[in-house]
Each structure stands twice: as structure tokens, then as C-alpha cells.
Amino acid sequence: MENSFLSEFKKRNYFNQCTNYEELEQLMNKNKIRAYIGFDCTSSSLHVGSLLQIMCLRLLQKYGHQPIVLLGGGTTRIGDPSGKEETRKILPEKVIEKNTKNIENVFKIFLKTKNKNTKPIFVNNYKWLGKLNYIKFLRKIGIHFTINKMLSFDSIKIRLDREQSLSYMEFNYMILQAYDFLELNKNKNCSMQIGGSDQWGNIVNGVELIKRHSNKQVFGLTTPLITLSSGSKMGKTEKGAVWLDKKLLTTYDYWQFWRNTDDEDVLRFLQMFTDLSLEKIEELKNKNINQLKIILANETTSMLHGKAAAAKAEQTAKNTFEKKSVGTDLPTLILKKKQVINGINIIDLVTATNLSNSKSEVRRMIKNKGIKINNETVESDKFNILLNNFGKENFLKLSHGKKNHVIVKIN
């Protein structure tokens, strides 16, 4: 019989592969289960690249299952070779610990924490990996892995085929991840691991380890790698990562990220990254594409920054792009009156904002007609801003290209 969680999982395009779909269906129909996803702690927070996994955890909650968030404090000390062409740099322990805390906070926003039965369980694998005894580990766990098999996994094979070096440390990564699953199965009664498609090998290892070690059946489920219709990986923009963190990316910029989605991706993203029901999305389908993008931006932004903040961002975008005016969410630079009274050179003004920090770049921008004050192109890099450039309300809008605007105010 079809399982409601899995069927929605599929319909929302989260599904890539499963170790044993039919039996997983049976299990999930019978019991509420615990499932985990592991997160790497290599950066100071999470970005949109991890959003799909987060959505999976939310979906588990929706159907009454309980997510386990595994923070890879231990495995990050080793470095996952999957999909990497080179050994990645190993971070100092202090940084990893700090990252771990920040990342945990992201989940506290996205996941529901009130319901006792579905609230997320946070674990850090450093807790058990950090105190492993090498000999005991090899005897207990190592015995279940054959080198022959390990060499056949993509993450290893690709490196070897390309004759790129792979350290022994990294080679052990998959065993550690498999061990994590075993640990969670034993101590937290966790019966499923979810992950990106690049984690398939690591996940299968865990499933097999548990089979051999404990003779228990557990499951692995993977999500596809999301690419934009342009073919590039999701989550990185010109300006850097799209962080799921207020401190690292403003609400307005986050909203804009979603608003700027390619036409081709909009429906898919509505399914993947919003809570809108599939029926609702079906209804919306025929709406104007730009309306859909606004809905997408509002839904995704509300989830992270709250409804009110999202509405503010939307209003700011409306003012900025439709009315060619300004909105409260635009970044603001405040100047003292005496700084302006004798005029400020345009280059100095632009570099004082976060629009640019290079004078050469600003000169270039002016030459290419990309700098505007109150929607009027600045023609010369000798242009001086005077008090009368600020309107009655003592502010002006400074634009860098079409999408980047800053309000400059006189105090």
C-alpha cells in the first residue's frame, strides 16, 4: 500500500533512489519512524544547497515521523571525498565547533520544535567518533568492510581512475559515516538515512553494516542533485553563497534570490521549497510567471525570516522595480550634513556603500552607464553630489546596475 510520506516525497521531486522502496513503504505505514540526515560542518552556516535536505526533514515531521539532525562534528574532521577532486582542507577544531553551533540554529528555525513526538533530535557524531578505540573499532566494524568493495565505490573509484591521490584518512570516511548510522540505529532507534544522491555510496554502506552487524533492516533514501535549468549548481550566485542565515544574508537579498529564479525552474521550486500543497500549486500553474515568482519568494522567505519580513521585502521590491522608487528594506547609508555640504564625489559615495569597494570599478561602471542617482545615469566620474540631489525627505537612491540599490540619507 502506498505511503503518504513517500508519495508526497516523490511528487515533490525529492526522490532519487531508495535501498528498498516496498519494504520502506510497509514500515512507514505501520510505524512512525526516526530518520536522519547528516550535515557537514565545513562552513559557518548552511546555504540554499542544503535546503532540499531540510525540506525532507520538514516533510517527515508533517507525517508524524521524527527527524534526527546529525551534525558532522567528527566526520568534518576527516573530510568527505565524495564528489571532491582534491583533498579538502581540514579545518581547525575550534572552527568546526563554532560552525556546528551555528548550523544547529538554522534547524531550529526550519523545524517544528513543539510537538514531543516529531521535534528534531540533534546529535553530533564527534561525541562517539571522537573517542573510538582504533583496535576495537577495526575488530568490530572494520571486519565488515572489504577493501575490494570499498574500492568499487564511486567516491573512491573516481579518484583512483583519475590517478588523483586519496589519503588513507579520507578513505576511512565512508566507514565512519556507516558507523554513524549504526550508532543512531542502536541508540536512537533510527531506521532511515536520507541524503543527496552523492551520498548514495555512504548510505548503502551504513545499511549494509547494520545488516551484518546487528542483522537489522534499515533504509536509505536519496534526493536528486538540484541543478538550475541553466545547468549550474544551485545555491551560489555572483555575490556568493545564498545563506540560510540572517546574519550572513539580508531578508531582502534572500527574497530577491528567489524572485530571480529562471522561468523554467519556478514550478519545480514551488514544489520543492514551499509548503504549498501540490493541489494548490496545480491551481497556480496558469498564473502569470512573475506572479508565481513572487509567491515563491514570499513562501520561501517567510519560512526562514518570517511572514512580516517577507512582506516587507516584497514591498521594497515592488517600490524599487515597479515604481522605481525605494523601499525600507534597501540597505541604507547615513551621512552627516556637513559631509555633503561641499559636495561629495560620486566615486567616493559609491565606494562608501557596499555597492563597490574599488574606485576603478566605479569609474568603469560610470563609463558603461551603470551608476544612477535617483534613476538618472551619472555621466561623469567627476560628478559631485550636492544637498539639492537629496529630495525633500533628505535621501537619494544610488543604483549600481538595475538590481542593486542603496538609499543614502542625510542625518
Partner RNA sequence: GGAGGGGUACCAAAGUGGUCAAAUGGGGCGGGCUGUAAACCCGUUGACUUCGGUCUUCGAAGGUUCGAAUCCUUCUCCCUCCA
Binding mask 227-266 for RNA (x = CB under 7 A): ---x------xxx----------------x--xx-xx---
Alpha carbon of 127 to those of 66, 97, 315, 320: distances in Å? 21, 12, 46, 49
Whats the size of the chain, residue-wise? 411
Using left for φ > 0, alpha for ψ between -120 and 50, and beta otherwise, residue 88 falls in: beta
Which residues, including other chains, have CB under 8 Å from residue 348's CB and lie 6 or more apart? none
1 vs 231, beta carbon nearer RNA: 231
Tell me: does residue 331 bind RNA (CB under 7 A): no
Closest approach of Cβ 320 to RNA, in Å?
Answer: 7
* Binding range to RNA, per CB under 7 A, among 57-65, 145-153, 211-219, 288-296: 288-296
Which three three-digit cell numbers place residue 217?
533492516
317 binds RNA, rule: CB under 7 A: yes
Does residue number 328 form part of the binding site for RNA (CB under 7 A)? no
* CB of 156 vs RNA, minimal distance in Å: 13
Give bridge partners of residue 399 from the DSSP assignment.
372, 405
- Enumerate residues 2-61 that contact RNA by CB under 7 A: none
DSSP string, 158-225: HHHHTT----HHHHTHHHHHHHHHHHHHHHH-EEEEEEEGGGHHHHHHHHHHHHHHH----EEEEEPP
Q: What are phi and psi of 353, to 5 degrees?
A: -95, 180
- Is residue 405 close enough to count as binding RNA by CB under 7 A? no
Least distance to RNA from the beta carbon of 362, Å? 8
238 Cβ neighbours under 8 A, 6+ residues apart:
none
In the bound state with RNA, the residue whose beta carbon lies nearer, of 28 and 317, is 317
Size of the residue set binding RNA (CB under 7 A): 39
Query: C-alpha grid cell for residue 67?
Result: 527527524
CB of 165 to RNA, least distance (A): 4
361 binds RNA (CB under 7 A): yes
DSSP character at residue 318:
I
Name 334's bridge partners.
Answer: 409
Name which of 111, 114, 16 is nearest 54 in CA terms: 111
- Residue 2 or 163: the one with the smaller Cβ distance to RNA is 163
* Residue 400 binds RNA (CB under 7 A): yes
Asked if 359 interacts with RNA (CB under 7 A), we say: yes
Taking CB under 7 A as the binding criterion, the range among 7-15, 127-135, 206-214, 397-405 that sits at the site for RNA is 397-405
Q: Three-state DSSP class for 395?
A: strand
Which one of 146, 215, 342, 368 is in contact with RNA (CB under 7 A)? 368
Among 136, 139, 369, 409, binds RNA (CB under 7 A): 369
Residue 290 near RNA by CB under 7 A: yes
Q: Give the residue, chosen from 28, 59, 365, 396, that forms a contact with RNA under the rule CB under 7 A.
A: 365
User: In terms of CB distance, is 210 or 347 closer to RNA?
Assistant: 347
Our finding on whether 138 is near RNA (CB under 7 A) is no
Bridge pairing between strands 395-400 and 371-373: antiparallel
Closest CB to RNA among 28 and 166? 166
Are 221 and 50 in contact by the 8 Å Cβ rule? The answer is no
User: If you ran DSSP here, which 8-state letter would residue 354 be given?
Assistant: T
Q: How far is the CB of 341 from RNA (least distance, A)?
A: 21
Q: Does 104 bind RNA (CB under 7 A)?
A: no
Nearest distance from C-beta of residue 367 to RNA, angstroms: 7
Q: Which of residues 71-90 bind RNA (CB under 7 A)?
A: 86-87
Q: Which long-range contacts (CB under 8 A, 24 or more apart) does 288-291 make?
A: 289/263
d(C-alpha 329, C-alpha 314), whole Å: 9
Provide the CA 190 distance to its chain's centre, in angstroms: 24
Residue placing its CB nearer to RNA in the complex, 144 or 364: 364
Residues that bind RNA (CB under 7 A): 86-87, 163-165, 230, 237-239, 256, 259-260, 262-263, 289-290, 293, 317-318, 320-322, 347, 358-361, 363-365, 368-370, 381, 400-404
